[in-house]
Every structure is written in structure tokens, then in C-alpha cells.
């Protein structure tokens, strides 16, 4: 189709915002820049070793709070996070090596290091599972603005943990960058990591 030069110019100008959306460069400022999310923590990993937030200095980190007995949300989100990392390893191995995935339990009563270790190993080979005392977990949750509360469903023998579910992408100095779409798909997680990890 041949368009007059003026009509073609007008069409291109009208598509400007759409075409700009195709640009792969990240926005000038990450969505969580300047927020007070994140901070120090001291917890126990799946090998029973003490782990501090400062141990991840220099690495990007995906931080997700949940619990291993979660019947639905946590396993799906962790599957998408682990799947996103699995998509990156063959295509962007240098980028994948810059990212640490950290699962922090909100259920210290049941989530021992061994239980957390088995849970995270189902979603990827390098995922770090953390647990600890109720006091240490509460302190970490407060740093990340995570809501959680034990709930006893009527007639149930066990309990649930109602909690906010956010997958935080934190930068190499522990600075908040963005919330990942862990509830969507592995591809969405991989795409967002490609966008933000430098």
C-alpha cells in the first residue's frame, strides 16, 4: 500500500508511543527505587549455617517470603521463579550467575532447615532456603514489609499462614529494584530479570 508522504509521517508519529514500548532499555528509575523495602537479617540456611543479608553483597537477589506447607500460592510462585532462572541459564549464563534466589520461611515452627532445603530443591539447584527463630523471621519480615499471620481454618487439624506474596528483586547493594511477576509465568520472571539485571 502506498501512502502519501504526509499520511505516512502522520501514521509514524501516531505509532510513536507504541514503538517506544518496544524499546528494551529499562526505565531511568526502577519502580521500587527509594522505597524502604529490605534490610539486614540473620537466619539459618538449609545446611544449618548462619546467613546474613550482607552475605549477598554484590549479587542481585530475588527475595520471596512464604512457607513450605503453603497449599497453593508459594509453590506456584516458586515454580515460576525457579523456571525463570532455568530459562536464563542456557541463554544468559552470565546474567543468571549474578542472581541469588532466596526463599525465607514464615513458619519456623514447621520449617526446619531440612524441610526448607527439600522444598527449595524442588524448584532449582541453587535456591537458598532460610528459616530461623520466630523473632529472627519476624525481624526479616518487617524489613521487607511482609504481612503474615497464623490462621486456623475451622475444622482443620493444621494451620495456614496468611501472608503477602511478593517476589522482590533487590540490587547488588541490597537496594529495592522491582516486584517480579512470580504469579504469572517463568517467562515473565526471566524477561523482568533481563530488563533489570545489569
Annotated binding-site positions for Cu cation: 70, 74, 163
Give the largest Cα separation in the chain, rounded. 74
DSSP E strand boundaries for 50-184? 50-52, 60-66, 99-105, 128-131, 148-151, 160-163, 167-170, 176-180
104 contacts: CB under 8 Å, gap ≥ 6: 41, 43, 63, 64, 65, 66, 130, 131, 137, 140, 141
Beta bridge partners of 130: 45, 104
**Which residues are annotated as part of the binding site?**
70, 74, 163
State how far the Cα of 156 lies from the Cα of 52, in Å rounded to an integer: 36
Amino acid at each position: 500500500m502506498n501512502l502519501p508522504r504526509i499520511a505516512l509521517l502522520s501514521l509514524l508519529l501516531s505509532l510513536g508511543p507504541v514503538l517506544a514500548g518496544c524499546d528494551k532499555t529499562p526505565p531511568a528509575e526502577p519502580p521500587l527505587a527509594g522505597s524502604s523495602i529490605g534490610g539486614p537479617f540473620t537466619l539459618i540456611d538449609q545446611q544449618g549455617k548462619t546467613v546474613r543479608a550482607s552475605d549477598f553483597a554484590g549479587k542481585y537477589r530475588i527475595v520471596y517470603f512464604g512457607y513450605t506447607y503453603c497449599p497453593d500460592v508459594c509453590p506456584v510462585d516458586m515454580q515460576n521463579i525457579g523456571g525463570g532462572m532455568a530459562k536464563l541459564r542456557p541463554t544468559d549464563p552470565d546474567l543468571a550467575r549474578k542472581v541469588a534466589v532466596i526463599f525465607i520461611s514464615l513458619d519456623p515452627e514447621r520449617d526446619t532447615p531440612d524441610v526448607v532445603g527439600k522444598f527449595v530443591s524442588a524448584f532449582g539447584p541453587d535456591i537458598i532456603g532460610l528459616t530461623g527463630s520466630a523473632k529472627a523471621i519476624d525481624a526479616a519480615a518487617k524489613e521487607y514489609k511482609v504481612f503474615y499471620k497464623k490462621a486456623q481454618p475451622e475444622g482443620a487439624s493444621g494451620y495456614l499462614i496468611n501472608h503477602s506474596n511478593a517476589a522482590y528483586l533487590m540490587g547488588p547493594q541490597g537496594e529495592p529494584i522491582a516486584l517480579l511477576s512470580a504469579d504469572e509465568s517463568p517467562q515473565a520472571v526471566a524477561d523482568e530479570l533481563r530488563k533489570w539485571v545489569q
